[in-house]
A and B are shown apart, each in its own frame.
Chain A
């Protein structure tokens, strides 16, 4: 804790206490003033967990961002911060300032670096929240209102092969869905990128027959680029097909910034139309809501500018009665996502992105970087809010030192 100078108020209180003592009056002990926490340094680097054979379905490389404070508390996130932003904005702006003032720092970043600048600092923002949570002794989700203590997990699976998955047999995808279900998970998301759109519908039919009814199947068109976008009749035909196989949602069928196309589709079909992962200001999401663009908003807690921004977007969506189910990430990087999600009354799922394996298999190498027996506690297909302060990771400092590679 930083020593503080005596204020006029304290001097006065002490003087009156002394006077009272002289007069034989009971002197009351005052509450301790709130400790201050100032940022002393921010660093970002890479760690590489060693392995004899590197399994392509497991993750060995991690970006780390650390926020050091004068209280001795260090906040850690497993999201990187680009060197340019770190050296030319983060350090000159944040060092010496209050780690709690995240809203003020974010507004300054928006002003000085614009909307597109906000995603570059998210590693720092998550690490600041880790420091705040540690200072306070509570999980970040609880500081933000503690809406829930677990999130249902769905696995987003990109199979090895061509990005559009056209060389992946339907049966391979179906078999993996069955494995997920047998392992306790209740949802899968796969790409709807095949060159003939109805092929993805057929694949969902195969998957549905294999996995049974009580399992959520989501499709992601990821149509973030013009030229890649379906025309409306195609999208409608795909949705009708997906409806017949009782798929749960179709994500980003049109351009990521298109307000009206998804709205038209959402009004016409019963399957949920979702999107929003590219949004990096509350105004993007406000426009989605005003235009009824999506049935479910999917801010990304890194891209949108961090945990605080994600929480704001959730409040906005909630006031319109719209679910806010975050876009995902993987392994240690989802620590901040879990905290944000558990602070949202309208977020039921946590997406964990990876290959055809279970989340705990993918992040198994990360066990070397934490001191807990698991990376994140998983139970019955839910990820539990860790019962640790901050972002909920008990980071193994020795391992971080040992495996540190360089700047991210």
Chain B
């Protein structure tokens, strides 16, 4: 029921219409596109591992703003995505992720790019971040046998020294060699080259070594390797056991002091909550895209914070990194992984072709081994959209 007073003031309100603050109009998603770009490189560069192909996700809006992500998905997903997104409110991220967008984290990144551009602010700031930089560590995988058994320890040590000289403070390599304690020996050789202050991490990658005919380690092997790595000065051991095994990493983490980390395979919040309840990992590593996207990472960090567990994102590189970097800065994570580096390349060398679609002179600014927070709105890439169209496959 309206009182006489209310009615009167309604009239007055209408009369004073011109003085009112501008109403916020919903911004609708008008189109979504997935395509590939291929940037020109020489054959030598391509063979050396230079990054030149990207899956682009593009989200257009009726505000005239377009969001981009280079962590897109194959175009086969387009019919689903159009049905999910077109006509929906750009800002309804919570609902969209719930409705299925979590399966296409790269598109979620493009959504955030558009949101940040509408807001004229970097995404990490909108999501509570205030750091201006973050230490980067480089995950190096040598070409050839994925188990790295062909790579001499001294070559890994030389790469670590090169990385250190370039200002970086950490490197991660695989713990995939057929005889697991060999990786602990590699650790000793690398640490002897770079000293105590340089962080060296090892990644067992759970079930991934199945591609070279290996099985997930039995607990006793994991314990032996962890103890040897700890003795030789490694910083952490990542995914020593299966991803759905919440108990064994917890047992290992209780038994050794070296940090036991993991989490890149989980989608949504539930597995992360299980990890926290089981004290599975010392550090949680949600995937910037696969977990569901930036918004999901922000939530994982909120859960982890209440359990005092640090969160360091599973990484990526090149233009894809934009979404990961914003998530990392949003949650104030202590490191950003840059992966996969193909030695002897450094990140700036490996992602150099990306400059062809940017108006800036660097892809990401790295100073003293720290990725600098982007100063541009959205995900922070100042794109040359015309060039992007030119290189579309």
Contacts known (A101-B130, A103-B128, A104-B130); A371 close to B122, Cβ less than 8 A: no
Cα A312 to Cα B302 in complex, Å, equals 6
B356 CB to nearest chain A CB (Å): 12
B378 to chain A, nearest CB (A): 8
Asked if A146 CB lies within 8 Å of chain B CBs, one says: yes
Contact A361 B20 (CB under 8 A): no
Given A138-B24, A371-B16: A34 touches B303 (CB 8 Å cut-off) = no
Question: Which chain B residue shows the least CB distance to A102?
Answer: B128
Q: A387 CA to B25 CA in the complex, in Å?
A: 7
A7: nearest residue on chain B (CB-CB)?
A: B375
Alpha-carbon distance between A183 and B6 when the two chains are bound, in angstroms: 15
Nearest opposing residue in chain B for A183, CB measure: B1
| A137 in contact with B21 given A28-B359, A30-B360 (CB within 8 Å) | no
Q: Please, what's the 1-or-0 string for B1-28, where 1 marks a CB less than 8 Å from any CB in chain A?
A: 1010110011011101001110111000
- Residue among A100, A285, A388 making CB contact with B23, cutoff 8 Å: A388
- Write the nearest CB–CB distance from B326 to chain A, whole angstroms: 12
Kindly state the interface size class of chain A when it binds its partner.
35 or more
Is the CB of A80 closer than 8 A to any CB of chain B?
no
Question: Chain B nearest CB: distance from A161 CB in Å?
Answer: 25
Choice from A136, A143, A183, A290 contacting B120 with Cβ under 8 Å: A136
Q: Which of A86-94, A198-206, A316-324 contacts B (4 or more CB under 8 A)?
A: A316-324
- Using known A-B contacts A34-B125, A34-B377, A373-B14, determine if residue A145 contacts B21 with beta carbons closer than 8 Å: no
B43 within 8 A of A: no
By a CB distance below 8 angstroms, the chain A residues around B273 are 319-320
Q: Are B303 and A145 in contact (CB under 8 A)?
A: no
Given A34-B376, A316-B306 in contact, is the A146-B94 Cβ separation under 8 Å?
Answer: yes
Residues of A within 8 A of B23 (CB): 387-388
> Could you tell me which residues of chain A, from 11 to 55, have a CB within 8 Å of some CB in chain B?
12-13, 16, 28-35
Q: Decide if B20 touches A30 in the complex (CB within 8 Å).
A: no
* Separation of A142 and B94 alpha carbons in the complex (Å): 9
Contact of A372 (CB < 8 Å), options: B20, B98, B270, B303: B20
Q: Which residues of B contact A372 (CB under 8 A)?
A: 13, 20
The answer to the question of B362 belonging to the interface, with a C-beta cut-off of 8 Å to chain A, is yes
Number of A-B contacts (CB under 8 A): 145
Which residue from B91, B295, B375 sits with its C-beta under 8 Å from A34?
Answer: B375
A243 interface residue, CB < 8 Å from B?
Answer: no
For B121, the closest partner residue in chain A by CB is: A34
Residue of B nearest to A16 (CB): B361
The smallest beta-carbon distance between A105 and chain B, in angstroms, is 9
Shortest distance from the beta carbon of B385 to any chain A beta carbon, whole Å: 10
Of chain B, the residue at the smallest CB distance from A358 is B1
For residue B118, CB closer than 8 A to chain A, the reply is yes
A100 and B299 contacting across the interface, CB-CB below 8 Å: no
Q: Is A30 a contact of B94 with CB atoms below 8 Å?
A: no
Query: 6 tightest A-B contacts by CB?
Result: A373-B13, A101-B130, A142-B91, A145-B94, A136-B119, A103-B128
Write 24 A-B pairs (CB below 8 A) sorted by A numbering: A9-B360, A9-B365, A16-B361, A30-B359, A31-B377, A32-B120, A34-B122, A104-B130, A135-B119, A136-B118, A137-B24, A143-B91, A282-B306, A361-B3, A364-B3, A364-B5, A367-B9, A371-B16, A372-B20, A374-B10, A374-B13, A387-B23, A388-B24, A394-B20
Which residue numbers of B lie inside 8 Å of A, CB to CB? Answer: 1, 3, 5-6, 9-10, 12-14, 16, 19-21, 23-25, 89, 91-95, 98, 118-122, 125-126, 128-130, 269-270, 272-273, 277, 295, 299, 302-303, 305-307, 332, 359-362, 365, 375-377, 382, 384
